[in-house]
């Protein structure tokens, strides 16, 4: 029997995350957004209460929470501010390929640093000329004895300015397309430079930077997985992190839905609260449905991971639907506020700006559709071929 009833521990975890978002994030979120400043004080508090590195394995000192547990936390933090939530949670994206492909020695070193020393880490895949086209990356890693030498730039790197570690994807066989990509764990040193901090439309409390590796030497022990198998590692990583992104999109959507609902009860037009008008009621009802379904899809994609099952299709469903829903809901929330929704004094314009990135990072909504189409059509194609040759 399918059952998404949360345990008492999960309810307490969600309450902890909600209280943190309500008391520590919400009161300052719009100030951080306005100035685009780094929320180090909130990151430190999140680390202290156990809301960072939540998937770090217990054997390395982490809490070892489930993927569903992580989604509960990420929805609540994003409800507070998705930019700050992204800053808090970025270690999880960088850590996933280390957990999947690192040796025991490397995992112990890396996770110990994250947990005990409050280290930060960034995931470095995207490049200026290679966004969704991962195989077009130009960053190179050349083997020299017991080291690799990395050269190249990565853009749109979350927490890049402040990271102590980078999970970097580079070409070890430049002529092999996506089959020539390898993944490395790179500790920051003087050869790693921050070339640009992006001034963004939304999620302005999240640091986004261009990072360049200039003859950066990496010990061969920090190769993650096998050489030239980095693309598969990246895809496995995104299967594991997309439920969290979907949860954040759900948090943004829920925040906009709640603001719009309360405003509709207070705003009087034509002698009655606008919530009395059927046009507004239908918009609110659509918002409620989309939030509900986004959460269900998110939880389903996370539970499959917790059961040790493949979730590629379900994580793409969840990420695509939740991201698109967040954009639709925040846009409608601005509409419900009317002219006030367009003013920075009111909260929903920030949520609308924050929502847009959810359709772009960790695989655009268009890429999710490609994945969904492939996963949907490929089994049928195999079945048809088998029938034709029988």
Beta bridge partner(s), residue 170: 182
Q: Which of 328, 362, 375, 383 is catalytic?
A: 362
Question: Known catalytic residue: 362?
Answer: yes
Q: What is the DSSP string of 34-48?
A: HHT---HHHHHHHHH
Query: What is the rounded CA–CA span in Å between residue 164 and residue 390?
Result: 57
Rounded Cα distance between 74 and 226, Å, is 31
Q: Residue 375 contacts by C-beta under 8 Å, 6 or more apart in sequence?
A: 312, 313, 316
Strands 165-171 and 121-124: parallel
Provide the β-strand partners of residue 154. Answer: 211
* Crossing angle between the packed helical segments 230-266 and 278-306, to the nearest 10 degrees: 150
Q: How many CB atoms lie within 10 A of CB 5?
A: 6
Q: Alpha carbon 169 to chain centroid distance? A: 18
Distance CA 217, CA 144 (A): 9
161 vs 121: CA distance, rounded Å: 10
Instruction: Tell me how far apart the alpha carbons of residues 71 and 75 are, in angstroms, rounded to a whole number.
Output: 6
- As annotated, the active-site residues are 362
């Amino acid at each position: 029997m399918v059952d998404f009833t949360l345990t008492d521990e999960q309810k307490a975890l969600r309450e902890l995350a909600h209280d943190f978002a309500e008391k520590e994030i919400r009161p300052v979120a719009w100030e951080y957004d306005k100035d685009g400043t780094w929320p180090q004080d909130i990151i430190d508090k999140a680390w202290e209460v156990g809301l960072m590195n939540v998937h770090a394995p217990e054997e390395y000192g982490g809490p070892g929470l489930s993927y569903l547990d992580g989604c509960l936390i990420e929805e609540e933090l994003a409800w507070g501010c998705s930019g700050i939530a992204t800053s808090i949670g970025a270690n999880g994206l960088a850590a996933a390929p280390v957990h999947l492909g690192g040796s025991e020695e490397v995992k112990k070193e890396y996770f110990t640093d994250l947990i005990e020393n409050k280290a930060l880490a960034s995931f470095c895949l995207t490049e200026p000329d290679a966004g969704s086209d991962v195989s077009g990356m130009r960053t190179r890693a050349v083997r020299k004895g017991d080291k690799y030498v990395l050269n190249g730039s990565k853009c749109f790197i979350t927490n890049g300015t402040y990271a102590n570690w980078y999970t970097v994807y580079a070409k070890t066989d430049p002529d092999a397309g996506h089959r020539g990509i390898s993944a490395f764990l790179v500790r920051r040193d003087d050869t790693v430079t921050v070339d640009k901090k992006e001034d963004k439309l939304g999620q302005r409390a999240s640091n986004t930077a261009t990072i360049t590796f200039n003859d950066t030497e990496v010990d061969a022990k920090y190769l993650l997985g096998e050489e030239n198998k980095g693309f598969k590692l990246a895809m496995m990583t995104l299967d594991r992190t997309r439920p969290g992104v979907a949860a954040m999109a759900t948090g943004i959507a829920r925040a906009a839905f709640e603001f719009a609902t309360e405003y509709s009860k207070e705003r009087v037009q034509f002698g009655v609260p606008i919530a009395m008008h059927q046009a507004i009621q239908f918009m609110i009802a659509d918002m409620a449905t989309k939030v509900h379904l986004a959460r269900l899809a998110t939880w389903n994609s996370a539970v499959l991971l917790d059961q040790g099952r493949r979730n590629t299709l379900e994580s793409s469903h969840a990420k695509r639907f939740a991201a698109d829903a967040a954009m639709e809901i925040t846009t409608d929330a601005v509409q419900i506020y009317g002219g006030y929704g367009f003013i920075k004094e009111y909260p929903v314009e920030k949520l609308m700006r924050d929502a847009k990135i959810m359709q772009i990072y960790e695989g655009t909504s268009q890429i999710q559709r490609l994945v969904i189409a492939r996963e949907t059509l490929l089994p049928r194609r195999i079945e048809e071929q088998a029938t034709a040759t029988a």
